[in-house]
Amino acid sequence: MSAIHELQPHALWQHFSAICDIPHPSFHEEQIREHLIGFAKEHDLEWQSDAVGNVIIRKHATPGMENRVGVIFQGHMDMVPQKNNDTVHDFPTDPIKAYIDGDWVTAEGTTLGADNGIGMAAALAVLAAKDLHHGPIEALFTATEETGMIGAQGLQPGVLDGKILLNLDTEDEGELYIGCAGGTRIEVNGEYATETPVDNFVFKTLAISGLKGGHSGCDIHLGRGNAIKLLIRALHRLEAEGVRIASLTGGSLANAIPREASAVIAIPEASQIACDNIIDQCSNELTAELSVVEPNLTLTLSNAAPAAELMSLQDQSKWVAAVNACPNGAQRMSDSIEGVVETSLNMGVLTINEGKVKAHILPRSLVGSCNDALSDAVAGLFRMLDAEVIFSDSYPGWKPDPDSQILAIMKRVYAELYAQAPGVKVVHAGLECGLLGSKYPEWDMISFGPTIRFPHSPDEKVHIQSVAKFWDLLVATLKAIPEA
């Protein structure tokens, strides 16, 4: 365990430290699942695991509170695996190296997994506690939330008995969330003809790096650079000098804003000086445009080994134009909720190699019809290139209920604890509440959490003091749950 287990509240941080030691990226949740089941057995708690890998742990009410409304804690088991290029880390096998950095806890060169490890840790701390006051509790730990909400998709109605859902997966202390955007994952699969390069090409790697990246829902309003889109922009300019693409790779997840992208390119020998000038111009333009939000942006050209194949000139022109034209970022702000993005899109992954083009794109919207319209527009763009376009893992938004009983309770509790009113918000990121509410429409739902910055990127960090406030609010809320 690192020194983080000594932080307050001890129980929560001890569980979070243990979670950091257990590899749990999406699709590799076996060890964390076994940890949860082992925890339930150790504490003599009822548990079950369903067909899609969700884990449910139940705890009886403390004496005198048996007639309170049942509460469900909900968080997800997986974390987003992102690392810096110079960091050696194998997410399915290596622990997260968490450490204290001033007022924050962060990790060495990787995502921290505070999203949603802190939520899991809080639930475990309540389940293990002997000195708290609460009614019946069920803790739902869902599988593979970050790449399709698979656990929430597969949860069956009638399994859980509680009526109030506390989702522990938002990232601003002092704010209570009562709604979220829905989304659809788009996979694009295309093909291109190849050509053998001629002798008068010089091979280089064009790379963009130093971007902040981040969560494609929570951070999309910040206007950060998308490495794929910026690289394609530069390549589009270079096409005028006869530059050809041998391969390209950018991004790693549909729901993470790409921080890095690179392409192996073939430059005609006679065009080297002209291409150097274009790259300098692009670098200066991007630096000027994004100096505030991306101060460390770099566009570099370095030597590369010769490639055996190039993208055909005709196909290259089509694909570069299509990716360049594809929408990206915040598309529309909400008319009804001030300051919240209504509709957005993130091109999270693009690869071009060996005659194949693959892209992963994630549109989101608070309005279902707007999400559908944007998804159809993207599909239409790439289908004009005869690409296969697959929609998957669609999830509904969560419609806000300003008259929610648990909202009223938590607003009162927060004001009593901190002598100020909490914010009431809708988040553009996708929460599992929309899917869960479609299966349990009787649930009264709310989401809250500590302050986490830069989730889904290696800069992820969680504010220490906010974790203590999050815990105090959770404990006080459980005590304030009304009778059934």
Q: What positions carry a catalytic annotation?
A: 78, 145
Q: Which pairs count as long-range contacts for 469-474, CB under 8 Å and 24+ apart, including other chains?
A: 469/173, 469/174, 469/417, 469/418, 470/118, 470/122, 470/173, 471/9, 471/12, 471/122, 471/125, 472/417, 473/410, 473/413, 473/414, 473/417, 473/448, 474/122, 474/126, 474/166, 474/168
Cα–Cα distance between 89 and 86 in angstroms, integer? 9
3-state secondary structure of 282: helix
Query: Residue 363 forms beta bridges with which residues?
Result: 345
CA dihedral sign, ordered 131, 135, 136, 139:
negative
Cα–Cα distance between 258 and 293 in angstroms, integer? 14
Asked whether the beta carbons of 155 and 147 are under 8 A apart, the reply is: no
Cα Rg, the chain, nearest whole Å:
24
CA distances to 54, 149, 348, 438 from 156, rounded to whole Å, are: 10, 14, 31, 11
3-state secondary structure of 449: coil
One-letter amino acid identity for 83? K
Cα–Cα distance between 355 and 191 in angstroms, integer? 5
Cα–Cα distance between 110 and 87 in angstroms, integer? 8
Instruction: For residue 266, give both structure tokens.
Output: 């073939």
Asked whether the beta carbons of 202 and 269 are under 8 A apart, the reply is: yes
Cα–Cα distance between 381 and 384 in angstroms, integer? 6
Asked whether the beta carbons of 210 and 283 are under 8 A apart, the reply is: no
Asked whether the beta carbons of 263 and 225 are under 8 A apart, the reply is: no
